Structure formats: C-alpha cells, structure tokens
Amino acid sequence: PNDMADLSAAAPARARLAYDELLAHQLTLALARAKDRRKAGRKTVGDGQLQQRVLGALPYAPTGAQTRAIAEIAKDMASGARMNRLLQGDVGAGKTLVAFMALLRAVEAGGQGVLMAPTEILARQHLEGLRPLAEQAGVVLELLTGRDKGPERRAKLSALESGAIQILVGTHAVFQADVAFGDLRLAVVDEQHRFGVRQRLELGKKGQAVDVLVMTATPIPRSLALAQYGDMDVSVLDEKPPGRKPIRTALIATDRMEEVVTRLRAAISEGRQCYWVCPLVEESEVSDLIAAEARFKHLRAALGEGVVGLVHGQMPPADKDAAMRAFQQGQTKLLVATTVIEVGVDVPNASIIVIERAESFGLAQLHQLRGRVGRGQAASTCLLMYQAPLSESGRQRLEVLRESEDGFVIAETDLKMRGTGDLIGTAQSGVPRFRVADLEKQAALMQVAQSDARALLAVDPDLTTPRGKAARLLLWLMRQDEAIRLISVG
C-alpha cells in the first residue's frame, strides 16, 4: 500500500495521461475544423466604402482590439475557406460594432448578412442599436421574428429573396423553411450557449458556404474556451471603449435592507431606474417564483403602485416582453427580476442594481448581472447583498468582484476557486468532462494539445504517417467516436 503512485496533477504519469486525453479531445475538434475548412467557402471581399462611412461618423475611434478583430474577420471572409470564428468580449467591449463591420463587408461584396439573437427583445434591441449605423451606411436593415404574420411576413420574405433587404436581424424564426435569401454570405450568432453546434450547421445551410461569426459576452478562461470552442478561431476584445464609467460595487448585509430601499426611493425620485435581482433559489421553480413575488410585493408597498415591475422565468413570454418593455421605456422605475435579465438587455437609464443573496451566484454570473448598469451617463452602483455570516470562500468571491471589473480576470479567479465542475453549470454544458485532465491545474497542457493537434493534421491530414497512426489508436482508446467518424468521412 505504501507504494501508491503519486496522483497529484503535477505527477509526470498523470500529466502524461492528461495530455493524451486532451490531445484526443483537441484532435477531434481539429478534425472537425479541418473538415469545415475543406468545405469550399466563398471569397467575400469588400471595397471598405460602407465600413468607412460608419467609422467616419462614429464619435470615437474604435479600440485597438476592435480594429484587430475587424481585420481578422475580414481576412477570414476573403479567404477561400469557411469562417468559423468566435468573437469574445466582456460586457461593453463593443462587440456589436465589430459584428456590424463584418455584416457590411458581406453587403459590400454584393451579398447579405444575418444577425441572430436568442430572444425577440434582444433582436429588437440589436435593431435599434444598428439602425443609426445602417442609415449612415445607406444599407437596408430589417427585422424578422415569430411575430411577423400574413402579408407583412410575405412581403419581407420576398424582399429577402430578391436581395432588397441587405441585413436581416432576427430570432430563430430566420431558420424556418420558407425563409430564402438572395445571397447570404455571413451569419452572426449572438450569445453562443443558447445555440448548439447543430443550429450553427442549420444556419450554414441557408446560403452557399456561409461564413459564421459567433459572439459571446461571457468571458471564458482560456483553457475552457479551448475545450469548448477548439474548432473555432477566436478574436478577443479585451479593451473597453473610452467613456465607460466604472461601476461602484459595495457589499451590504441583508439586515440593512430598509436602508437600501430608502436609497432606491431617493434615486427613483431623481429619475433613475434600478434592478433588483432575486436570489437563486434551489432548483425548484415554485420557490423561485414565490421569492420573486414576495420581494415584488414588499417593494411595491414601499415604493408605490406602478413604480415596480416584475419579470421571472415562469411568466408567459408575452408578459415577460411587456414587463421588460415597460422598464425599457421608463414607465416602471424598478424591475424585480430573477436572473432572466442577465444577458444583453440595455437600459442606459438604469444606474443601480441590487443583487440579493449575492453569495448564492457564481462570479461570472454576478459579473454579467453587474454589466446591466453603467451603460448610460450616470455613475452606477452595484449592491451585493449577502446573508451574514458569509463563508470564507463566499467573502473571497464577493471581494474579487469589488476589486475587479475585468471579466477575464474574474473568470480565471472563478475557475481557480470553484473548479470546472461548478463553473460549467447548465449554461456552458458544451464543455466536455475529462476523466484524468484537470482544466484548472493543467490549463497550459490544453494549449499545447491544441497546437500539437493542429500541427499534426497540417502535415498529415489523413493520419497515415506513423505518428498519425498512433493518433488514430489514441482516439480509439479514448473512445472519441466522433473523431473516428470524421476520419472515415474525411
């Protein structure tokens, strides 16, 4: 018994096995990528005129990161292979501008582009945000959602087929069988994890060899990004455009709730708007709902009828939209919500967010929620309410948030503190589970495995050299059936 081998992550034997496991995984992704690349793409080359019109009219210069990403995308679109790129940027890093530049490139080349959002509210928001830019460029932009019915829908469909609509913004309604494009060259997909690989492929079928750009606002630690998106090329926006005000983040115990309510009352009387995020209750949706409704009634009693709105996951979508819209238009001043608001909603006038029982949320989620404020002119505040006493790790997590506004730093810290298992949660279920490899402690190995896998396939695409044959055996041992299918297809 005393000769038990050392099983720590740093032990050479374990590192060797972990590398094999990661290499098998990255080979699978690299084979998928190679197969994608072999699919002929189309060369989409623009003269840059539409892009110049928009950039010339912007009140600020794009950041270095935006300029770099725009160039990387243009190069992909101009190449003969299909683009499969991930655009990753923190809240407020300016992903939309980069995506719009890519869509303009498709239009400059005489084609069309589509931007897909996971919900109708987000699709409408993209439309509002892009309309002024489209007018600057003189480009026809239109919205297609499940709400379009009858003659109106038919008119849009024929304009789409004739090429009269140059850029389409929509929900998954753009997948429906009767939707045909004149010449679709680029599909931009917002918020990756709502969108499986299967949908990415569906979208690709809508045009001849459509280029795909996926945008995500969730900063993902490098090792996880490679595990989840190893088949994609990645552009990262890691600078914030000038003029974004920092958000003040404070910790406050739940027993001081009435002080917080008094503060909100003052802010509302100054014309500000606020979010109140209810705690994440255990899996049961019923208790989730009860918690939100109880808080809503309490705040409505304190702040007055018609001032407070409520939105939660169990509402019918139409009610949810109506509640969100009332808040967006400033009719309600305080929105009580379960986490349905975390992605993408933009209300520049909202300058305070209260997150109740903040210690029950993951760091990345708290960071996303905090990004709902700080979008307008006013200085913004995020109040993290916690139930005392806080555990040591709970305190550490909330303090990381107080110290940093950089989503990538926060994501890396989260990975170190909680481990991949917790981090991956339901949203990121796209990340594979590894048996030997430990993504926190062996993050660097993933990088090595990715470049080794890509290098091997570059010289031996059919895995027929001695090293290629060894790789085939490895894939078989590691049960990478997907990869084995790709080899036989490829």
Fold of 247-404: Rossmann fold (3.40.50)
Q: Are strands 350-355 and 380-386 parallel, antiparallel or unpaired?
A: parallel
pLDDT at 282 > cutoff 70: no
Question: Bigger pLDDT: 186 or 34?
Answer: 186
Domain ranges of the chain: 39-237, 247-404
Question: Bigger pLDDT: 477 or 424?
Answer: 477
pLDDT tens-digit readout, 445-458: 888 888 898 888 88
Q: Given this model, what pLDDT does residue 443 score?
A: 73
Residue 225: phi and psi, rounded to 5, are -60, -40
CB-based burial label for 295 (10 Å; 0-12, 13-18, 19+): buried
Fold of 39-237: Rossmann fold (3.40.50)
Q: Among all chains, which residue has been given the structure tokens 């169990």?
A: 314
pLDDT tens-digit readout, 77-129: 998 888 889 898 877 778 889 999 999 999 999 999 999 888 888 888 889 88
- Which pTM was predicted? 0.70
Q: Do domains 39-237 and 247-404 have the same CATH topology?
A: yes
252 pLDDT tier (thresholds 50, 70, 90): very high
Say which amino acid occupies 243.
Answer: G
